[in-house]
Structure 1
């Protein structure tokens, strides 16, 4: 595991965004290059299968213990190999408590309360709209007509997929943690924008420290030291594989790439691609696990992809 860290450490971005303590105003060329789209594809593909590995782990350990394990793996031993980013501690703590602790504590709780993974993946993408709205208001990032049109179209696609996913009784209590997780993720995205261009891997690793401290403290309060040890003793190879995937692949690879993209481009250009996460999750289940996709699913998938095409290319069409 350790050998992948120096390789990932080669992903560096040096120049910070311009701005003051109150807001950042986007400047310069924001055109996305092919390598940016390839990085987005990699991140979305990883996150598309991430919920499956979450479920593997949550079948064996409770949410708080899983969160502590995840960020223990993220932080150690990488903490001793990667230099701390040139970021004030208050921003590191804010990043760790929003995009890491807040988001995943609430997502893990929703899954543990019985919310299906497909619906959780769908509902979590509300973060896209939260992020674009906050970035437009606080960071003065442009939100154009084709951006809004594309996102709204993709949202309709998510609703169609949700209709196809819904089966039987929906645990209403589990819905609110997912919306809270989406808001927490959106706040974390804005903090990444405020931090600007730093080593993205370093930010993920050092931002995992406050998340690990929070998860570990709450887990010890909830279960006691003996209870935590007992839960860890219940882990099998399947649960361990879930922990390793969400720590080393989803966190270190996924959030490093995501942070690099957000530091380089406006949030309104990057975050809408997260709407593809449930689409990838559905297709992975269809191809790998032979899970059935009905008419609603396919209509939703086509609608989401159409909305993203509008979002990405609508400006060019309008210019022509």
Structure 2
């Protein structure tokens, strides 16, 4: 029975990373048709329509906890729901999905650095070397393998910088989850952060809609996109991920994050005809070597 539960957890986590990798590809595919903030806003509006019937009464029962922790909940909602998704979709307006996914793979390293600064978690020399390797990999992708491209990026295509801002926001969100109160279940926490995040996105969405005059047209493409990003990349991915954490534990589950760029790059090559260039491969090798050095190798040495 235990082996069966573990097998199911693996399947659910693989599906989760597939959904999240597909989110980047879909965001890039509709970048010319759906404005980024509209996609972010409607994604969470659809998700809330699905989950609120199951969670609204639970949130009402725990309203005293929500009042007590309102500042923390507001901040993590800003980071994880408002910032991350909006920044990703803004970045995908000009940045290929492949680049975005490879930059996302540096998130574990950024989490390590933020843990050091916020909680004083000690970083070994091996981890420092790994962090440095990953950052060099990130810079290789940003500059397309040539430092001379850096200045052009600052004045031109800034999609990769939006993605980096999204990665930083998600890393900080992940680190701050350590302070999350045990008084809220996973469903309750997801629901309240989705509600607050949607409220925080709203002023920016209204600016995009009324001031920039960038409107979403509700057609077959936009509706199917919203169904995917809200049902699969939001609600189902959340439920599957939580089940994986419950069965395998947070540490072992965390390694599945590295499958996101793998799935995403495969999907981008299949559906968007995006190609991997030499600087992509070099950056990928540096990023994943750094992650291996900063996490698994250093963990084994510490355990030994």
Fold match (TM-score > 0.5): yes
Deviation at residue 282 of structure 1 after TM alignment: 1.7
Deviation at residue 260 of structure 1 after TM alignment: 7.5
Segment of structure 1 superposing worse, 288-297 or 49-58: 288-297
1:1-320 paired onto structure 2 within 5 Å:
41-82=14-55, 83-84=58-59, 88-112=69-93, 114-141=94-121, 143-155=123-135, 171-197=156-182, 198-224=184-210, 231-232=215-216, 234-256=217-239, 265=250, 274-286=257-269, 291-294=274-277, 296-298=279-281, 300-301=283-284, 304-310=287-293, 311-316=295-300
Asked if the contact 1:126/1:179 (under 8 Å) is kept, the reply is: no
Describe the shift of the 1:307–1:37 C-alpha distance in structure 2 as closer, same or farther (beyond 3 A).
Answer: farther
Segment of structure 1 superposing worse, 175-184 or 304-313: 304-313
Q: Deviations over 1:75-130 (max 9, x none)?
A: 11411212237553333222221111112222222223x22222223334454333
Q: Deviations over 1:238-292 (max 9, x none)?
A: 22222222212222233455678889647xx876764553333223334666654
Q: What TM-score do you get using the length of structure 1 for normalisation?
A: 0.69
Deviation at residue 148 of structure 1 after TM alignment: 4.3
Q: Which has the higher contact order (CA 8 A, sep 6+)?
A: 2
Asked if the contact 1:135/1:141 (under 8 Å) is kept, the reply is: yes
Deviation at residue 70 of structure 1 after TM alignment: 0.6
Distance 2:225 2:145 in 1: 23
Q: Structure 2: 5+ residue runs without aligned partners?
A: 1-5
Distance 1:173 1:299 in 2: 21
- Counterpart of 1:28 in structure 2 is none
Q: What TM-score do you get using the length of structure 2 for normalisation?
A: 0.72
Distance 2:17 2:145 in 1: 20
* Alignment: residue pair count: 280
Describe the shift of the 1:66–1:165 C-alpha distance in structure 2 as closer, same or farther (beyond 3 A).
Answer: farther
Structure richer in helix, relative to its length: 2
Describe the shift of the 1:220–1:314 C-alpha distance in structure 2 as closer, same or farther (beyond 3 A).
Answer: closer
Cα RMSD (Å) of the superposition? Answer: 3.9
Q: Structure 1: 5+ residue runs without aligned partners?
A: 1-32
Distance 1:95 1:135 in 2: 16
Deviation at residue 51 of structure 1 after TM alignment: 0.8
